[in-house]
Amino acid sequence: MNYNTPLSSGFQLVINHLWLSFITLSPDSHPLLSNNHRSSFVNGTWEPDGVTFFIIQGFAGLGEKKIIIFVILLLGYIAILGGNSMIIFALTDPKLNTPMYFFLYNLAFVDIVYTTTTIPKMLSGLLTDVNTISVLACFVQMHFFFKLSVTEVAILTVMAYDRYVAICNPLHYTAVMTRTVRLLLITGAWCFGTFCTLPATSMTWQRSYCGPNVVIHAWCDLSSVRRLVCGDTKIDNIVSIFFAILALLTTGVLILTSYVLIGVSISRMGVAQRLKAFGTCAAHLTVVSIFYSSASFVYISYRVRDKSSSCYIYVRIIVSVLYAALTPFLNPMIYSLRNKELRESIIRMLGRFRPSAVLPTKDINTVS
């Protein structure tokens, strides 16, 4: 029998296309797809750049247990939005017109946008069997997630400098931390975030993706998407590591230097002054510790050797989700609990929305 007829070739083409669609969309094949088949079947030939969308694996293998994660994540996201929005509205109070509250205002805004880049898409993915995202949306999410992550630690660095000036040079604090300086510091924090993330994400965007298209993560994580590139990514990895080290090392050294100088200055104070100075730094130190601790756990999870097991995949995803959500979730609680002025402003703000009491009125038409 001759298999080279046009009918046989067309039939074989249809079979190959159906098989490719099955292995691409089947949730059970996600782990396998991350390591096999670096091309896509288009018009009867294997050609590059065949990927038009990505599939976010997330918690696809947990079945009905996904609803539990959905509820926890939804409640956490509501708390993040509510807590940080409350801080933003409270800091519109004219009584809180100081550099520290200005930086806290920006930090709360970054936390809201930072979590909004990933959590809503994760929530929608937990309600569907296959969570898909377009290539453009995937890279937009990737860029803004890492940009805002670096911007957040840059703002924490700026806040450490603010505390240094307030404690070590209190007499010159107002003269140093002018409105112009505050705006320049915040602008520098946002520019630093762009500078450290744009090279790596733009390089990943320019690569070819010819299949598979399954991202083994809860969102478009840079390292997870890069594993799907058709080609050598050694240069991309070097660039990513360089800018990651630059971001963490630069901010870490500056924060550490600020607190070393603060510690030296506090050691020369009296007991009452020490307690007051420590109280102004306690909230910021707590947030910085949580941020770097969660970042360290993410780094450790990425260095585990057995990366093929489903247990490793879920642990890595959970650790990454905690890293992305923990600091924005705890920031409002830490700062509101440690700051009396902020608490009083929040109480005043809530009082504005309290319905006024309805006083009983005397009916003058009542006949006695």
> Range with the lowest mean pLDDT among 137-146, 174-183, 322-331?
322-331
Residue 285 near residue 266, CB atoms below 8 Å: no
Token reading at 218 = 């809860």
Question: Within a 10 A sphere around the Cβ of 281, how many other Cβ atoms?
Answer: 22
Residue with tokens 């918690």: 59
| Overall pTM surpassing 0.85 (yes/no) | no
Q: What is the pLDDT of residue 290?
A: 85
State the Cα–Cα distance between residues 225 and 204, nearest whole angstrom. Answer: 8
pLDDT in tens, 11-62: 344 334 333 333 333 333 343 333 333 333 333 333 434 678 899 888 877 7
Residue with tokens 């600091």: 327
pLDDT in tens, 148-194: 999 999 999 999 999 999 998 888 898 999 999 999 999 999 999 99
Question: Within a 10 A sphere around the Cβ of 227, how many other Cβ atoms?
Answer: 15
- Asked, as a colleague might, if the bond just before 31 is cis with ω within 30 of 0, I would say no
State the Cα–Cα distance between residues 330 and 114, nearest whole angstrom. Answer: 14
Query: DSSP class of residue 128?
Result: S
Phi-psi label, residue 160: left if phi above 0, alpha if psi -120 to 50, beta otherwise: alpha
Mean pLDDT of 259-278: 85
> Range with the lowest mean pLDDT among 38-47, 99-108, 276-285?
38-47
